[in-house]
Every structure is written in C-alpha cells, then in structure tokens.
Amino acid sequence: MEKIKLGIIICDHFRTCSGGKCFKALHNKEGAFEAYKGQDVELAAFATCGGCPGTNIEYANDEMTKNGITHIHFATCFSIGYPPCSHKDALEKFFINKKMNVTFGTHPIPQKYYILHTNLRTWNNEFFHKNLKSTLANEKIRLKYD
C-alpha cells in the first residue's frame, strides 16, 4: 500500500492555531480524513495561506510538491471563520491546476459553528453544499470538536 502524503493549509486569520483539532481528526480518521480509513497517511506539511488573497499559496505549493505531497486539505477554518474565505474557489482551482487532490475540510465542524452558520445561512450555496459534506458529521462528533 502506497503512503498518501498530505498537506494542510490553514486560513491566515488563524495563524496561531496549533492544529490540535486537525491532528486529532487525522489520527482518528474523522471529518474529511474519514476518506483515508484503512490507508497509510502521512502529514507532511502544515502552512497558512499567507493572508488574503492567498499570498503564500504558490510558495506552499512548490514546497509541498518538492516533498511529494499529492493531497491538500484546506482546514475547516476556511469554512467556519466568519465570514468564510471569499477566495476559496480560486485557491481550489490553483491546486487542481497543479494536479493536487484538493479537499476543503479537515476536522469535523464544531457544533457551536454548525449552529451559528446554520442560523446565519452562511453555507447556503453550491460550493458549501459540495464541500461541507465530509466535515458536517453528526451532532455527537461535532460536540467532541467544540
């Protein structure tokens, strides 16, 4: 079985995040990482986008490519920060153009953010309907990430 090397990119607004929820989810294969159940996965990079509109993306991609990364995860913070990232479509296109497997999401969405964004109807668009499925989980799991 070939090892999957992945990188996580976090929103620069959360640049001081220690990555605890992302690492927990990867270890437990929860949220977006559930797709890797039964596979050998190595986290090989963790970087910020560099701030709007993604000023670190080209550099991060170059470094990740040099290190054999084939899968990019934009951390859940791109979707649960308020407002959610307005550059997400361009970021996704950039990495797909570089032949990377792109996923929006890492850890399950915490329940408090699920409630907030549901009430605000933040995610009522095609992009979020497509990309939040892997991180919505169920209430019991969402509460574990509050």
Tell whether the model's pLDDT for residue 23 goes beyond 90. yes
Which pLDDT score is estimated for 50? 96
Measured between alpha carbons, how far is 19 from 2 in angstroms, rounded to an integer? 25
Quick one: what percent of the chain has pLDDT higher than 70? 100
Residue 46, C-beta contacts closer than 8 angstroms, at least 6 positions apart: 7, 8, 10, 19, 22
pLDDT digits (tens, 9 = 90+) for 59-77: 999 999 999 999 999 999 9
- Tell me the domains of the chain and their CATH numbers: 4-144 (3.40.50)
- Cα dihedral sign for 84, 124, 110, 100? negative
pLDDT digits (tens, 9 = 90+) for 95-144: 999 999 999 999 999 999 999 999 999 999 998 988 999 999 999 999 99
Measured between alpha carbons, how far is 138 from 126 in angstroms, rounded to an integer? 21
